[in-house]
Amino acid sequence: MPIHVAAEQGDFAPVALLPGDPLRATRIAARFDGGLDKARLVSERRGLLGYTGTVDGVPVSVQTTMMGTPTTSIVVEELLMLGVTTFIRVGTCGGFGRLGIGDALVAMSAAASTGLGGVLGQGEATAPTADYSVVTALEVAAKAEGLVTHVGPIVTSDVFYDPNPAGAVRWGRRGYMGVEMESAALFLIAMRERAKGRPVRAGAILTVSDVIVDPDDPSATRIDGEPWFRPAEDEVVRRVDLTIGAALKAAAALGRG
């Protein structure tokens, strides 16, 4: 049984949203049918808050993962033990190219620039890929919410403050659309389970909270003349809340299916 996600069989719905931030988990649960009063707190050990409720009558859970692939992998492995089969990461990312603050980015795949990628891949190359049905549901829901929506490859990195002289822009130059710190582990674990014949699927919808501009691209839009921009935190929260609405709609649709 799970060690870190302190819950029992039946506590979690088959569909779970995965934010990194425990405060975001609570905000998501507050948007379940009946609000936070109707949501059931099913996990809180180590601050890993988890809630279960319904969205449009469909059972849905939300579970905190914290930051990075190590804690994300622990949480996902333990949710698998508890019967979760559909995972939707709901987070933020730095966006490359022409992406703007507040845009929604649905990840098709996530390059594993992370130590855990080597562990899960047993030292061989990996291709962490989201489930097509989850990608489609997230794209449809995001567009229905009126969000500027992008679908494409991202990077999962262990490093936030990158010491590489080329910085994170090197990924944008290769065609990746954004960078974050969790999705590759989620995708690899879900792929492994599908290879075992289990109906496990995963996807990720990310709010662009930072814009990373290539300094060598003269046509790129710069905000206040800077190559990197992040708005005030209350504005980030407002934009993330819009993406949460899309994630909840997609979760309900996937739960019905």
d(CA 83, CA 99): 36
d(CA 65, CA 69): 9
Active-site pick, 33, 131, 210, 216: 210
Quick check: is 214 catalytic? Answer: no
d(CA 134, CA 234): 29
For 232-250, give one letter per residue: b (16+ CB within 10 A) or e: eeeebeebbeebbbbbbbb
Catalytic residues: 210
